[in-house]
Structure 1
Amino acid sequence: MEHSATSPRVYVLTVVRIIGMDYCVQYVKMDFMDRHVKNVGTVGMEHSATSPRVYVQKVVWIIGMDYCVQYVKKDFMDKHVKNVGTVGMEDSATSPRVNVQTVVWIIGMDYCVQYVKKDFMDKHVKNVGTVGMEHSATSPRVYVQTVVWIIGMDYLCKEGFYGQTCEECGHCRNGTFCNITTGVCPDGCMDNWDGLLCVDCSDGMYGHHCNDECGHCLPGTLCDKSTGVCPKGCKENWTGPKCDVCKEGFYGQTCEICGHCRNGTFCNITTGTCPDGCMDNWDGLLCAVCLDGLYGHHCNDECGHCLPRTLCDKSTGVCPKGCKENWTGPKCDVCKEGFYGQTCEICGHCSNGTFCNITTGVCPGGCMDNWDGLLCEVCWNGKYGHHCNDECGHCLIGTLCDKSTGVCPKGCKENWTGPKCDECQDYKYGPNCAFDCGHCKDDKPCSKVSGKCEAGCVTGWAGLFCLKESSSAKELNAGLFK
């Protein structure tokens, strides 16, 4: 308080915002306190019956202060005023007061600077709102109603705030605080944060805490860092404002294409399962695998002739364990040399050790001896047997024996008998069975090969073939014809 009984004025000793101040507005009248002091921490009444003043222990904010320091005693300044820019002693031998020319920061004050000399105002106060001269002929002082800015200010924000208006710091790394003047984080930004002041989400992140990942926006574009919306649209297979939902026909976290669902239905966008089962030729939980025995992009190619109880690869058709007999190739779908056709039949009897064509079975150089036919697998006429090296018997003229068994199906030529017509009839022998047997004993036939009577001759006949009359028979016959 100015120590003048006639003066109701107060001198405000500090600036707008003081952090953690234990002492500030010394003794001020209660009505002034009610009007101008806010956010008082602890206020206690002075225990003096004659004093209506309050003792302010903590003052955080004083409304409307734009310029505050007038003339105060030096010991009070040393104790209570901080961040003074330039301090100069008043040129008065009897006055120990300092003239404070620079104050920390003043915002939008409507009341504060009471009476200051005009030359001080001209030199140090800028952006004055309304200035009015005091209507006193003897006083060269001005009455400042609104002062916005004081030159040379050194305002200090709380830790975690910066700038002229003490904006909150961004998201600095390692729990550090930003620079109180520039707002820059000395060690850079926390994870997911970016920008000069660490108040922007990193590219690809969004949300209040920048911990939500953007969806699948079009390549070369970013989602809105507040809402996550993709303004230019989505990558292929994705949909929704944030491009975080699969289109129909796709499923899962990466929107893979659905399998082959039956009846043109779409799979479940989360699990990928087909609600009505799989299309023909497809199998598996997701209808993305060929049925056993099929392979290829559309599962419409049949596996080759893999070894029994093994399957071909359902993508490539390769038989990993090898092929059945007579087959070769990675897919076991090609005949080995010496075999041909869709079932790899053995080739016929090609001449000169050559192999038949694997598709047609035709021998390019013709057939081996005794063999005939388009595929060299039939005996020549008149030949039969596994190697076609057996000759047919004496079948009826104009007929052939069976080329596998040698049997004459229509019967035999005269004098021949047997299934193959390769034996003489009884009582015939010799080349072409043209000779009659002799007089063999007991009317038995002679050997069909040699004509001999193995059991001997009828009485009266002699010789190996029983064709000679005996001497007794001759004598008997001679007596009879005398």
Structure 2
Amino acid sequence: MGVFCNESCVSGTFGMDCKNNCSGNCLNDLICNRTTGKCDKGCKHGYKGELCNKACRIGFYGLNCSKKCSPFCNRNNCQNINGFCLSGCISGYKGPRCEQECSDGWYGHNCSMRCDNCVNQTCNRGTGSCQYGCQPGWRGSTCSQVCTVGKYGPDCMFSCSQNCINKESCDHVTGICEMGCSDGYKGELCDLICGNGYFGANCSKVCSENCSDICHHIDGTCYCKTGMMDSPECKQVSSWTTAKKCDDHCFYAIGISMLVILNVLTCTLWIRERRRQKVKRQSSSNYITTEAEMKEKTSESHEYQEVNSVSRDFSYQNLSFDT
């Protein structure tokens, strides 16, 4: 440059009359050739071409654009200089260049989600699908959904006890009735009947000592001992044993008793009718016999009268002859 062209181009320029600027992408920030503009030592990372003025095409980065972006970069798009993924990682990977798999128990975009509800906290790093199923109380491919109401346990395969108080639902993990058990039942799952001699809420009430047998586990009703009544207390004195509430077999006993009574009444009526018929036949026979006797007596009377008449006539005739 200069009037006599005896001066070198200033640093960073090149060409005729030094009118061109170097690309600024020469390796180690060296200046380009003042005449050609080329980077004599090569281009710095992320650039290529004789003048190092061309960035790496998409999918490549580094020295002379010789390195490929990680296949786990979203859209296969990385920064041309250092290879950092510009759009983040696909599910299951992390790190600036998305070269690291998610740690155990993590999955998803940038490994930001946990496999908390998977058995052994083991899931597919990309999809989160639990490889060994769900822990109790959870369901779905990623075990992220709570069991539906009324279900609990592994894969929500069990149903809550029907004996939870007020039919409330149970804990979706353990199956425990959260509000306790209905009267007559006990245990964490309310699946146990009260032991003999107990009834009511939490099986805390004791059956009356005047029950003749085990009382009902829910309300304590029972058959009272002789002389007692008013179950479940069985305290009031009575001349016969009763129970305030009767089980089905009580009604069967009543039905059988009524049938027996009906049969007895039927037999009694039949016997009475037979006796009445017998008496009637005897009366009729007696009447016939009496009538025959009366006829016989009448006949005898007529014969007697005839004999007497003949006798009188004979006597009269004899008297006539004597005269």
**Category of TM-score, reference length = shorter chain:** 0.3 to 0.5
With normalisation by structure 2, the TM-score equals 0.40
Which of the pair is proportionally richer in helix?
Answer: 2
Task: Compare relative contact order (CA 8 Å, sep 6+) and give the higher one, 1 or 2.
Answer: 2
With normalisation by structure 1, the TM-score equals 0.30
